[in-house]
Structure 1
Amino acid sequence: MGDPHRVGVVGLGVISRAYLETLADHPAVTIAALADLDASRSAAAAATIPGAEALSVERLLERPDVQTVLNLTIPAVHAEISLATIDAGKNVYVEKPLAVTFPDGRLIVDRAAAAGVRVGCAPDTVLGTGTQTARAAIDGGLIGRPLSASAVMLTPGHERWHPHPDFYYVEGGGPLLDMGPYYISALIHLLGPVRAVVGAASRLRTERVIGSGPRIGQRIPVEVDTHVTGVLEHVNGALSTITTSFDGVATTAAPIEVRGETGTLAVPDPNHFDGEVRLFALGGTEWRVLEPRAGYAGGSRGIGLVDLVGATPQRPPRAGGDFALHVLETMTALLGSAVEGRRIELTTVAERPALVPLTPLEEWKAHHAYGH
């Protein structure tokens, strides 16, 4: 099976805990080094992982035994750290989004291709049984020809729970770039790539009040639109509508619905790996829950990186750079359309990744690589 793949982690904020929980004891990888601007964070994390060393970012990138860097920095520096990783001759797997601008995302993918290294990018939640079971149902003809879909993410705002929510409300933030990767990635898994978009956006207020933590009550400026909606034209002719908002209290809408000629699928929250997939068939009288039929069962953040490690020329990474770039262009084109008031055709095309066969928890946790 070979030696475990050696990984260095850059950025040890809140999301890093979920990744480390998956990767620290997975036989496919070894966490060799960790780095953060706050040296106490990297030291604390390294103390919990046998053999891991706390380093500066520069020293981590210089280590010849680190094969892939897991980039968990804030979105504003995703491109900087990813490009430095590529220039060091290493693969990179980055937390979503790939970058905050499409040109930066394109630069990451092109430079990696020139350097002969791999790029992967979250979300890998869409590789779980929720989205993958829905994908298998569509591919199996359970709703006939898919005609349309809707995706809805609505919340009153992350400042209500996040102690340092500033980055959500400055350039590179907002509900679409923050949460859109989950929903758009799921829609592309379900319906295929996007050909063109039309978008609209608004901003409810110019400042927000932090609702928790040491800065509770502090006001922060809002510099981006906080309600973004639009239409995605898929290459196969299906139309998806998407709404991402920090300006709503609640909704009864399913996170994602896909409607076909002979049925409708209700798809669970793509920010989670699992959840019920429900089918209402033409001529039926009620929703029916489908048993999981595809995806990594009990999945957790980090399986996309291991999937990247196990990729081959015959089975490219399911959370790869080309896919992430297409998602990023879809989002930035929606935002651009909202500003310009016109339909925008995309310049990238991404293949639908291979369906994930139903893989039990104990199997994906035990195997050195995903060979499916």
Structure 2
Amino acid sequence: MDRVGIGFIGCGNISAAYLKAARDFPILDVRAVADIAPQAAAARGEEFGIPAKSIDDLLGDPAIEIVVNLTVPLAHVEVGLRAIAAGKHVHSEKPLAVTVAEARRLLDAARDRGVRVGCAPDTFLGGAHQTCRKLIDEGAIGMPLAGTAFFMCPGHERWHPNPGFYYLAGGGPMLDMGPYYITDLVNLLGPVRRVAGVTSRARSERLITSEPLNGTVVPVEVATHAAGTLEFVSGPVVTVVMSFDVAAHRHRPIELYGSEAAMSVPDPNDFGGDIEIARAGGAWESVATEHAHADGNYRVIGVADMAHAIRANRPHRASGDLAFHVLEVMEAIQRSSDEGVHIAIESRPERPAALAPGLPAGILD
């Protein structure tokens, strides 16, 4: 296998999951890690036996073809543009940018340079979600008509070691968790046509109760509850609620309602989970997962798919165009709330190609 060299910029919380998962994909050759804080890169590099470099040295390494950008949301575009200028493909943590305008700059720069842009989340490539996709395409629920998608919690200040950025520009429940849900919905149903939304902010400050910042008060600059209605090009109307203001709830993560049956889709922040289908008047019945990558945290599978796509000269699935569309939808929910009107979605990405059932773990072609 002609492996693809990758390097990581950003050695925060999520980097460990990426580096651990990279061991499961033979196409990936992890060459280096870097961080604006050299000690963070050194620690992560020592943990995984990977060289730690400065950001400039990593970007200048000709053996690195893909830069995996795991910086905080406000730095995604800045770091992405530096990688693109160095002639590297770039795969970013979500969201692609904090505004559509900034995301457009990134995609335009990549097209001009002739490199690829990818973006998390890639959980829609997990086995359970790919099986849901296959079932819908095969007509298991009939014609999709409607759906719901819920992520609601009391906030991340209860567990995250440094949660302040979740409540600043570029944060909030929609930009933080919305990408998982909306990306999976686009995988299952195709792109969104228009959006209506209402948002709110319950508090202007949050008290951190996690360590090491227990007792610290952080400001809240963004909406912490967002409710949207999405009309898809293919027809379904889906209600989406993302919130950091809810103590507890009993909604399933995603449910889709078709002309013949309903489907319960697993948590799109995971790669696996229980799939259930119920027909009118009948009980919920479990459906077996037919695809690989449903039994663990494969939070680098989108990078691996990009690597395969580079070698095979085909489109990659967790694409910049897909992430741009999801960002446009999320931004439109806030715009709709601010302006009191429906917002038409201009972008129309290709629905990502489905993965074939039966492929072995670690292989995507």
TM over 0.5: yes
Paired position in structure 1 for 2:86 = 88
Task: Give the counterpart letter for 1:75 in structure 2.
Answer: P
The alignment's TM-score, normalised by the length of structure 2, stands at 0.96
* Structure 1 contact 315–354 (Cα < 8 Å) conserved: no
Counterpart for residue 328 of structure 2: 329
CA distance in 2: counterparts of 1:306 and 1:112, whole angstroms = 19
Tell me how far apart the structure 2 counterparts of residues 10 and 107 of structure 1 sit (CA, whole Å).
Answer: 20
- Superposition pairs of residues 132-281 of structure 1, within 5 angstroms: 132-281=130-279
Contact 1:133–1:295 (CA<8 Å) still a contact in 2? no
Classify the secondary structure of the residue corresponding to 1:43.
helix
Please state whether the residue corresponding to 1:351 is helix, strand or coil: coil
- Contact kept, 8 Å, 1:130 with 1:270, in 2: the verdict is no
Structure 1 runs, 4 residues or longer, greater than 6 Å off: none
Alignment deviations for residues 297-334 of structure 1 (CA, whole Å, 9 cap, x no partner): 33510011000111167741110111111111111111
Give the whole-Å Cα distance in 1 for the aligned partners of 2:317 and 2:292. Answer: 12
Could you say if the C-alpha distance between residues 314 and 84 of structure 1 is closer, same or farther in structure 2, counting changes exceeding 3 Å?
closer
Render the CA deviation track for 1:94-122: whole Å, top value 9, x for unaligned: 01101111011111112111211111111
The answer to whether the 8 Å contact 1:125/1:271 transfers is yes
Shift, 1:158, TM fit = 0.4
Q: Of 279, 290, 295, which residue of structure 2 is paired with 1:293?
A: 290
Unaligned 5+ segments in structure 1 are none
**Equivalent residue letter for 2:286:** V
Gap regions ≥5 residues in structure 2: none
Specify the alignment match of 2:121 in structure 1: 123
Contact kept in structure 2, 1:31 and 1:49, CA below 8 Å = no
Does structure 2 conserve the Cα–Cα contact (< 8 Å) formed by 1:193 and 1:235? yes
Counterpart residue number, 1:67: 65
C-alpha separation in 1, matches of 2:44 and 2:339: 45
Aligned counterparts of 1:123 and 1:26: Cα–Cα separation in 2: 17
Give the whole-Å Cα distance in 1 for the aligned partners of 2:277 and 2:135.
9
User: Does 2:1 align with 1:5?
Assistant: no
Deviations 1:12-54 (A, max 9, x none): 001000000011463211111111122112112222444x321
Equivalent pair of 2:198/2:333 in contact (CA under 8 Å): yes
Q: Give distance in 1, aligned partners of 2:361 and 2:292.
A: 10
TM-score normalised according to structure 1 size: 0.94
3-state DSSP class of the match of 2:309? coil
Aligned-partner Cα distance in 2 for 1:27–1:186 = 25
Is the CA contact (8 Å cut-off) linking 1:9 and 1:71 kept in structure 2?
yes
The farther-off stretch of 316-325 and 36-45 is 36-45
SS in 2 for 1:141: coil
Q: CA contact under 8 A between 1:97 and 1:122: conserved in structure 2?
A: yes
* 1:346 CA displacement: 1.1
Indicate how the Cα distance of structure 1 residues 24 and 138 shifts in structure 2: closer, same or farther if over 3 A, else same.
closer
Give yes or no for contact 2:11–2:35 (8 Å, CA) kept in 1: yes
Aligned residues: 363
- State whether residues 185 and 327 of structure 1, in contact with CA within 8 Å, keep that contact through their aligned partners in structure 2: yes
* Structure 1 match to 2:14: 15
Offset of 1:217 from its aligned partner? 1.2
1:78 is aligned, of 76, 79, 82, to: 76
SS at match of 1:69: strand
Taking the aligned partners of 1:102 and 1:344, their CA distance within structure 2 comes to: 14
Quote the residue 2:342 is aligned against: 343
Contact 2:273 2:294 in 1 (8 A): no
Which one of the candidate residues 90, 110, 116 is aligned to 1:112?
110
SS in 2 for 1:166: helix
- Secondary structure of 2:361's counterpart equals helix
Cα drift, residue 212 of structure 1: 1.2
Q: Give distance in 2, aligned partners of 1:122 and 1:63.
A: 24
Contact 2:84 2:110 in 1 (8 A): yes
Q: Per-residue displacement from partner, 1:168-189 (whole Å, max 9, x unpaired)?
A: 0011100000000000001111
RMSD: 1.5
- Identity, % of aligned pairs? 46
Q: Which amino acid aligns with 1:169?
A: Y
Q: Partners in 2 of 1:114 and 1:37 — Cα distance? A: 27
Distance across 1 between alignment mates of 2:357 and 2:17: 22
